[in-house]
Chain A
């Protein structure tokens, strides 16, 4: 295994730097924001975020920014090509125009799962193909959150969204499976690829620390419990995030130099419904009557996934 040793062992080891000031316009208990906060701690302040339209667009509302680094709002599908332009321009200035190395920036894309899986997907695939030197942070709240929680390609089977509601005719709500963005990105062999969870700060921080030392496309998918869209209390965010990992629904892993490693493994997986039953978006699986068939399908998918690695 080629992965370097972990720099962080305890919470206390985490970098004290805060690149995002508190008090943004995002919802209380936003799991994605916690993930980004932890990630930026590792990257230092010399960054530029190219942001795709979504919830996180409200991080910077004129005339405020909570960031120590730079910010460029782009479009829903154009954050990655914007990162390309910034990267190219910095390289040109350093190579030909005498810009000092210390002026260089970590170019980061911050985009939701809708942008990442759907409208911005082609442009992202193209950038990985070009070997763009950047960090991609996808906060996965499993729907189009900013527009009020409609289906995205990351919405899981059995969840209700505003555009895949549960009805008598379509009891499951979302009847198709979540797109496997990790595998799709992996097929293009980026320099680094990992899933992270705000509930696993040490793992997350080690992954960002590792990615920081690499060049090329470095991709993160952050499980992002969303109190507003998923339907739970903001204070429960960490618990929900923990259940996602402990039930095995959200595998915490990394891909590096051709190998996939599960960096956090649930020792004994809890039943999937422990995760489902806590959220309004899955409420219809339990009330007014229990949908054993759908719950069973969800559990089967989790089991099938882990069987590959057991």
Chain B
């Protein structure tokens, strides 16, 4: 293991550096806050010759993902990034290219979805891609962002997978936060991830082929879909292999989930992405007060590592699944998946609470975590628990008051 250079990077820069160290050859791009810094950085590197290949300014995310997919099908290493409305705008293309089975890494910088329009983060954007057949890795730190991009290509390009990998990081909280990031030298990166050589047939004159042909009949459709499902499931094994190799080369290890003070925990917060840092800090403070709290952080979300999650949560009395997303009329999106993974366990938690918080970038503080503990302790507390309290109500009322004043004046 060689020494790695420690650099202060924002989450966005870390993503760009990940792409650079992966030796990406093609970046079709479209700007959107808070992701833009990533593609701007890559544009510069292609323009000044640091990276070899092509950066193409596209006209929309629908076009961008389409170009990314077809370039992948033509045998180059592809990177692209998006966020929020961009993900929704590109959704048709995302389903299309996962079906094409073309490897690439996509970085999503999470931002809440309109309406109302906002710039700040939550996870409804990334959760909307949950079922389209992508691999999803969720990053808590800038280091994880960099590392997951590198690992992402190993997973995406594995012949047993051949699917896009999406690396998620939170807008603002991580995208614009500078943290120390260890960056290996290029040779070491190349040892872990050699330059791209497509493992599946790609478009070129000597190899005519029809791809993504129409199908008739549910059985044929199902055959293709089941292959996609299998490929996606294979990615868990590939993730674990890539993680082992990654540790060998760079000394950092990543499991599909991360346990934080979990062993003896009576209360467990299930979280993902940058807010997990807040959760960890809350755990330490709660423990100082004698409350045995712990945290389970989700990293690999697709394929869903149900076994790893259930094994981590089984045996703990009270679990709160904190979703920074909202399916109106239902609740948190990850909650039912986690409950399902535990259903057949005899030692499943006696209480699994769904918590909705952090919507549109709404912060989560120690009081919020305390409120969750109190809610878990109440015998007949309902689920979900919305992290939206008196002070939130009064701040909104103040805005309404202003709106009314304006109305009265006009």
Contacts and interface: CB of A to CB of B under 8 A. Distances in A.
Interface in A51-96: 57-58, 60-65, 67-75, 77-78, 80-86, 88-93, 96
Given A84-B56, A85-B68, A78 B208 contact: no
Interface in B54-69: 54, 56-60, 62-64, 66-69
Name the interface size band of chain A.
Answer: 35 or more
B208 A74 contact: no
A48 interface: yes
A17 to B, nearest CB: 14
B58 to A, nearest CB: 7
Contacts of A102: 205-206
B70 A82 contact: yes
A88 B54 contact: yes
B212 A67 contact: no
Interface stretch (A122-130, A217-225, A277-285): A122-130
Nearest to A63: B213
Contacts of A103: 204-206
B70 A62 contact: no
A89 B213 contact: no
Contacts of A60: 210, 213-214
B205 A72 contact: no
A200 interface: no
Contact of A65 (B205, B210, B220): B210
Contacts of B176: none
A44 B336 CA distance: 55
Nearest to A78: B66
Interface string B203-238: 111111111111110001000000000000000000
Given A48-B203, A81-B67, A103-B206, A73 B211 contact: yes
30 contacts: A46-B205, A60-B213, A61-B214, A62-B213, A62-B214, A62-B216, A67-B210, A68-B208, A70-B210, A70-B211, A71-B213, A72-B203, A73-B211, A74-B70, A78-B62, A78-B66, A78-B92, A78-B93, A81-B66, A84-B56, A84-B63, A85-B66, A85-B71, A85-B74, A86-B203, A90-B204, A91-B54, A92-B53, A105-B205, A123-B60
Given A74-B70, A75-B66, A89-B74, 9 more contacts: A48-B203, A65-B213, A70-B208, A73-B211, A81-B63, A85-B72, A88-B28, A99-B204, A130-B56
